[in-house]
Structures are given as C-alpha cells and as structure tokens.
Structure 1
Amino acid sequence: MGAKVLVTGADGFIGSHLTELLVEKGYEVRAFAFYNSFNTWGWLDTLPASIMDHVEVFTGDIRDPNGVREAVKGCAAVFHLAALIAIPFSYYSPDSYVDTNIKGTLNVLQAARDFGTGRVLITSTSEVYGTARYVPIDEGHPYQGQSPYSATKIGADRLAESFYRSFSLPVTIVRPFNTYGPRQSARAVIPTVITQLLAGKTEIKLGALTPTRDFNYVKDTANGFYQIFKSDKTVGEEINIATQQEISVGDLAEELIRQINPAAKIVCDEERLRPEKSEVNRLLGCNEKIKRLTDWAPQYTLAQGLEETIAFLRDHLDLYKTDIYTI
C-alpha cells in the first residue's frame, strides 16, 4: 500500500466514499470518526473487510485541537471533510457550526502546519456563493452567507486561504456542488423524496420547488477530491466540482415520482421552507477549472446516479425515519 492519508469526517456520506476510493487507489487511510460511547463508526461500519483492513479508525472530535494533532501526525495528506452541514439545523444551533466548521478547520490547518503535511484539502460547499448572480458559477463568483451554515463555510475557506498565503501551507479548497447518492442522510432532498416514496407515501412533503441545483453523484465527487489531490497544479487554488447542469427541485421530485410511484403528488410543507432571504434560488456550477487542472470529468449521468441511489435506499430503508422531517 501507499502513503498514509487522513480523512476527517470519514464516517459520513462523502467521507466514507472517499475512504473507499483512496484504499482502492492504494493508500492506507486514517479515518477520523466522531467519537461516541456506542463505538459506532457511521457508514464505515458498512464497508467490506477488504477496505477496512487498510483503514485505521481514529475516533475523536474535530473541535478538539489535541485529538486533531494526533490524527494528523504521520499522515502525508489530509482530506478535511468533517463538518456540520444541515442548513435548517444551523438556524437553531449556529454556535455549534462556528465551533465545528471554523474552529475545527483551524485545528486541522494548525496541525498540518506544525507537522509539515504535504497536502491539505479543505472541503467547501457551493452554498458559499449564495443565489447565483451569474451562471455558470465560477470560482471568482462573490460569496454570500445566506445561512449560518454557509457563513461558517465561508469563514473556514478564508482561514484556509490565509494559511496558504501566510505560511505557504499547501492548501486546496475543494468546492463540491450538491452531492447525492448511497449513504446520504434524509436531510437532503433526493433521499427525502425517495424514502417517502419507498415507504408508500402518496403525499410527498417538500419545501420550495423552484430552486435549481447542480447535482454530483457521490462517486464523481469522491473522484474529484482524488484528481485534485493528484494534480500538482491545484495547490493554492479553490476548485468547483460541478456537472455544469441544473434541475429544479420540483422537476427532480416529479422524475422520482414517475420512477417509483406515479400516483404520488407533491405537497408543500411550510416547516421545510427556508426563510425567504436565506433560500438559495439557483446553483449551476462551472467545471472549467477542474477540467483544466486535473483529469476529472463526471462519469455518471443524473439518471444513472438516481438509479443507484434508489436501489441503495430500497435495500436500506430501515435505516431511515420516513415519518419525521430530518433537519
């Protein structure tokens, strides 16, 4: 196997897929998982032994600088994905987003600087752009914090930039647009719709239907991280991972209804609506930069990705609480 790399948030949705990919590419992975007394490792618990034999699970809390230092020590690269990401929950608990997303990122940057880590990839989000002022959204688009979540990610990104400019830390800011696929929680729109349909519901509860999103299948997102990591042209850059295609939430939901239960219909649930000035109405990303600097290109169409996602959720529906609104 190759060098040891650290993946924070490895127990989560994208992190578990990235862990899997890195092992397949020949790396030993130290997987940073959120400590809990049940000794559960999130989605890592579902990975086969052929993958986990090359994974060292490190349990801790990204908010704890001492634990983060121990995790970073001895790793050739850090893929920092640990974060609080649910937008509705950020309305209720913004302090926790500052502590996790900003201070947690600072802990990673400080440790990587102290240990001379060779590469540091910091995970951003397309939400930092807010509603598109022009499309496709390139990396020069202005930032707008339309939720406490996006504001903390803007802060984390700018901290990462400062460590590159101030201390020459080899940082890259990786900015995926909306990722979906197997293992995603029901706080996101695609698993929300699919799990309601698979549970037999005929009234599918959603918030706003008109916003558009640029959806990456999770394996394409994970490969985006890998290709950015492999390129020596990406240090000091911030790079979108995007398909450069968009679909509205309403049209997406109608397509899923068509595939799973054509008798179902959409109903607006006011609890799921964002405050008017907080809703991001349009996200359509530009992928010119990632294609120019790396060998990345999306391998999955939306139709292919949805097919795999539906199949996974059908087999794992028992893991989802379809009778409540997951924030």
Structure 2
Amino acid sequence: MTSSAPVTVAVTGAEGFIGSHLVEALIASGHRVRAMAQYNSFSSYGWLETLPQDVMDSVEVVLGDVRDAGSVQHLLTGTEAVYHLAALIAIPYSYQAPHSYVATNVTGTLNVLEAVRRLGIPRMVHTSTSETYGTAQTVPITEDHPINTQSPYSASKAGGDRLADGYYASFGIPVATLRPFNTFGPRQSMRAVIPTVIGQVAAGERTIALGDLRPTRDFMFVKDTAQAFLAVGTAPAEAVVGRTFNAGTGGEISVGDLVTLVGKLMGAELEVREDAQRIRPAASEVMRLVCDASRLRAATGWEPAHSLQEGLEQTVRFFSDPANLARYKTAIYNV
C-alpha cells in the first residue's frame, strides 16, 4: 500500500513564538512546511533553531519579508495552504512606530492575499487578534462583538482582517480568519505579561515590575492555539472559508490574580511594583477580554486541551531552565 506524499504548507512568521509551535504541530500531523523567517544578515531562524532535528528535517526555511510581494510569491509557490502569522505585535511599540505596523500587518497581509489569488492556493488561514474587540462590551465575546480598536497595533490588525474579508467577497479567496485570545507559553517574548512575571521570578526577583493589575484576560496555552490553527487549516472548506473564528478558553483572570498564581507555582512570595512605563494610555487599555469559541468548536471540533495551571507549569519549567532564561533580558522593560 502506498501513502500519499505529505502536503506542503507555508507559514509566515514561522520563527516566532506561535509560529514555531505551529510548525511543530504541522510536522506532527504529517505536513511538510516552507517556513518564512524575516530576512536578517545573521541568517537567524529564530525559535526554529531550537526545534528538534527530526522536526526540521521536514522544514524548508525561507528568509524573506511579508512586506515584499516577491518574497511572499516565492514562499507560496508550490504549496497547498498558507498560515499567515507574520506580524508586528507589541502594543507599546505601536505607539512609537505606527507606520511599521501598517507596513507589516496591513501591506504584508495584502501581499499574502495577492499571492494566494495569483497562485490559486487552496487555503489561507489569516491571523487576527482579540485586541481588535477592545474592552468587552458584552461577555463572553463572540465574533459578532463590535470591532473597537484601541491602539495602532489593533487598528493595523483590524485592517488586515478587513482585507481578508474583502478579498473573500470580491475574488472568492479561500481565506479563513482565526482570532486567538491571549496565547502564552514557552518561547514567548518578555513583552507579554506571563513571561514578564515568570522571567523576573526565575531571575531571582521577588518584587515584580508591572503595569495595571486590573485588566482580565482569557489566557490560552500555545499548544492549544497551534491546534486551533491546524483545525481551521484542515477543516472542509464549506465549514470555515469566508468565516472568522475566536479561539480561547472561556475563562478569565486578572493580572493581579495571575501574579498570585505564578507565585504559588514557583514557591515565591511576590510583591508588585508599579512601573509607569508599562501602563498604557488610559483610553488604550483593554480592561476585559473573555472568549466565546463556540463557533470554532461547532465548525471543527477543536477544544483547548490544557488548563491555565497546566500551561503555566510548562511555561515555568521553560523559563526556569538557565539556558532558556539566558535568551531574555528580564531586568529591563521589553517594549
């Protein structure tokens, strides 16, 4: 009996936090991956360099840039699907460099859509963010919740979302949008709150520098986010194409309570020092996010497999490894 050859798919932003976990999930499910890492003169493949060799044997790394249409066309040629994760993501930096967010998150998405259109790629999964909803007006947040962008970052992501919608309506592009809530886990950057807390504790700090402790978030472990991407990318077209899907757990916890939980898991008594540079402008802070993922469950059968505590335990183990912690700068504010 002969087996069919693995399907080759493309991933933009593959060198990053979620992207590298998605690459692992795709390989585990039998795919081959063309992984775009942003071009740099160091030939760095980011987090892809830490993946096991048996994973990387099925990965072709392509250095390029989603802001360049030719790079995107080259990446997608010969693939059966594209998972578009490349983005500038740090909200505080979007206050300083908004033009770069439009170039990457809007123009970059346009380049991917155009390549999918020209090459006839059968499936595109576009990445959105729960930040496009702004502070929850009703909870849990469904996909019908109003879009209320409260930062240049979220505005740029909403622009990419609207392009995806427009290309589906105008040209029948087979695109589906996944809108993850707050993903966390190993390999996340220190600009996010969970690595910030865990990293500072792992580095020996007991007084943790943070911003506002009141906002609540729906934190989802990165392996569950990767499986949500895979579910949308492999579901029958009639179930997902032209649709937007939230991905989250349906639970929420405040930043302050999160600090308490991390302290318990790490056996540390923690105090919090308010750091003014970590506080968003008042009208830009999103105070509450909690997800309704019932549409995704109904369309694909996806369910998160990890509790918050289970995910935190794995994340603590990662950052407590001195070799991993050494990759980070825990003593500074990572914008």
Query: TM-score when scaled to structure 1?
Result: 0.99
1:148 is the counterpart of 2:149: no
Query: 1:121 is paired with a residue of what secondary structure?
Result: strand
Whole-Å separation in 1 of the counterparts to 2:175 and 2:320: 39
Q: Is the 8 A contact 2:260 2:270 kept in 1?
A: no
User: 2:27 maps to what in 1?
Assistant: 23
1:253 is the counterpart of 2:265: no
Shifted more, 263-272 versus 152-161: the winner is 263-272
> What is the CA-CA distance between 1:262 and the residue it aligns to?
2.9
Q: Is the 8 A contact 1:194 1:310 kept in 2?
A: yes
User: 1:305 maps to what in 2?
Assistant: 311
1:132 is the counterpart of 2:136: yes
User: 1:115 maps to what in 2?
Assistant: 119
- CA offsets, 1:177-232, max 9 Å, x none? 00000000000000000000011112100001010000110000000011111212
- The AA in structure 2 aligned to 1:81 is L
User: 1:11 maps to what in 2?
Assistant: 15
Work out which of the residue numbers 318, 321, 327 in structure 1 matches 2:326: 318
Whole-Å separation in 2 of the counterparts to 1:322 and 1:8: 27
Query: 2:55 is paired with a residue of what secondary structure?
Result: helix
> What is the CA-CA distance between 1:96 and the residue it aligns to?
0.2
Percentage of identical aligned residues: 53
- CA offsets, 1:126-157, max 9 Å, x none? 00000000000000000011000000000000
Whole-Å separation in 1 of the counterparts to 2:26 and 2:205: 38
Q: Is the 8 A contact 2:221 2:311 kept in 1?
A: yes
- The AA in structure 2 aligned to 1:138 is T
Work out which of the residue numbers 276, 282, 287 in structure 2 matches 1:276: 282
Whole-Å separation in 1 of the counterparts to 2:265 and 2:120: 50
Shifted more, 259-268 versus 8-17: the winner is 259-268
- CA offsets, 1:55-94, max 9 Å, x none? 0000011100111111111110000000000000000000
Whole-Å separation in 2 of the counterparts to 1:241 and 1:196: 28
Query: 2:326 is paired with a residue of what secondary structure?
Result: helix
- The AA in structure 2 aligned to 1:91 is Y
Q: Is the 8 A contact 2:249 2:291 kept in 1?
A: yes
Work out which of the residue numbers 65, 76, 81 in structure 2 matches 1:77: 81
Q: Is the 8 A contact 1:97 1:152 kept in 2?
A: yes
> What is the CA-CA distance between 1:287 and the residue it aligns to?
1.0
User: 1:40 maps to what in 2?
Assistant: 44
Unpaired runs of 5+ residues, structure 1, are: none
Whole-Å separation in 2 of the counterparts to 1:274 and 1:59: 34
1:50 is the counterpart of 2:58: no
Q: Is the 8 A contact 2:174 2:242 kept in 1?
A: yes
User: 2:176 maps to what in 1?
Assistant: 172
Query: 1:319 is paired with a residue of what secondary structure?
Result: coil
Alpha carbon RMSD of aligned pairs, Å? Answer: 0.7
User: 1:294 maps to what in 2?
Assistant: 300
> What is the CA-CA distance between 1:261 and the residue it aligns to?
4.4
Work out which of the residue numbers 138, 157, 165 in structure 1 matches 2:161: 157
Q: Is the 8 A contact 2:220 2:249 kept in 1?
A: yes
Query: 2:240 is paired with a residue of what secondary structure?
Result: coil
Whole-Å separation in 1 of the counterparts to 2:36 and 2:268: 42
- CA offsets, 1:211-270, max 9 Å, x none? 000011000000001111121201110000010000001100111122224332111111
User: 2:218 maps to what in 1?
Assistant: 214
- Regions of 4+ moved over 3 Å: none
- The AA in structure 1 aligned to 2:32 is E
User: 1:181 maps to what in 2?
Assistant: 185
Work out which of the residue numbers 257, 270, 285 in structure 2 matches 1:264: 270
- The AA in structure 1 aligned to 2:102 is V
1:105 is the counterpart of 2:109: yes
> What is the CA-CA distance between 1:295 and the residue it aligns to?
1.6
- The AA in structure 2 aligned to 1:152 is S
Query: 1:59 is paired with a residue of what secondary structure?
Result: strand
Whole-Å separation in 2 of the counterparts to 1:213 and 1:169: 32
